[in-house]
Chain A
Amino acid sequence: MQNEIRRLRTERGLSQQELASEMDVSRQTINSIETERYTPSLPLAITLARFFGEPVEEVFHADGHP
């Protein structure tokens, strides 16, 4: 699933480790989300979107779905 996590994170000057600590997940998990190898659960997706102050649909884009 495409997402804007890397852009939003770098815009705020956060490292993957800092974001991972805030989300209570590993740095590898943040990296996997950013490289679209892992699709986060709905609670984590919502928490990420809230953290960046964006609607979840602006952060995550479901391919092929309207």
Chain B
Amino acid sequence: MQMAIPESKFTRRHVFRGPWLSIWSLALGIVFFTATAIGGNLNWTSFVSLGLFLAFAAVFYFGAGNETIGGLGSPARDERWMMINQRALAFAGTVVILILIGGWVVELANGNDGTPYSEVMGGGVIAFFVAALWLRFRS
């Protein structure tokens, strides 16, 4: 016997299945290009970078029918993709932390004050504790 699927299926579909990653990539490319132009540093690499942002947006827009690209583009529509997204984000975050620590140590060893690595790491630590406290009181 098959039963009706309850609750929020309709809502989740319509909230999370928009081409958000494509829009984000497109907006980031335009902001990057505009900032470069305002700074007077417009050259061929600016156009190449804009092209890469546009290509990224196009892949996620036109490839949304593919399960893997669709999952990467809007992971919140599927709980397994949400888990994959969170774990990939944690891995990427760990790599970034290791790079920051490495850069900080190199800066200190060169006789500098560790800037900007120390500020970025400080911001990251504060953000982590704020988020952990917030989530602890919400769950």
Min CB distance A12 to B, Å, is 7
Stretch binding the partner chain, chosen from B76-84, B116-124, B129-137: B76-84
User: Contact mask A12-56 → B, CB, 8 Å, 1/0?
Assistant: 100000000011111111001000001011001001001111000
Distance, CA A24 to CA B1, complexed state (A): 19
Is A53 touching B71 in the complex (CB atoms < 8 A)? Answer: no
State which size class the interface on B falls in.
Answer: 10 to 19
Distance, CA A38 to CA B79, complexed state (A): 10
Determine the main DSSP class of A at the interface with B: helix
| Top 10 A-B pairs, shortest CB-CB distance | A53-B1, A29-B80, A25-B78, A24-B9, A26-B67, A50-B3, A26-B78, A28-B67, A41-B79, A38-B80
Point out which of B67, B71, B80 has the most chain A C-beta atoms below 10 A from its C-beta: B80
11 contacts between A and B (CB under 8 A): A25-B78, A26-B70, A26-B71, A26-B81, A29-B80, A40-B80, A44-B79, A47-B6, A50-B3, A51-B2, A53-B1
Min CB distance A46 to B, Å, is 9
State which size class the interface on A falls in.
Answer: 10 to 19
Is A25 touching B80 in the complex (CB atoms < 8 A)? Answer: yes
Min CB distance B38 to A, Å, is 42
Min CB distance B80 to A, Å, is 4
Min CB distance A59 to B, Å, is 13
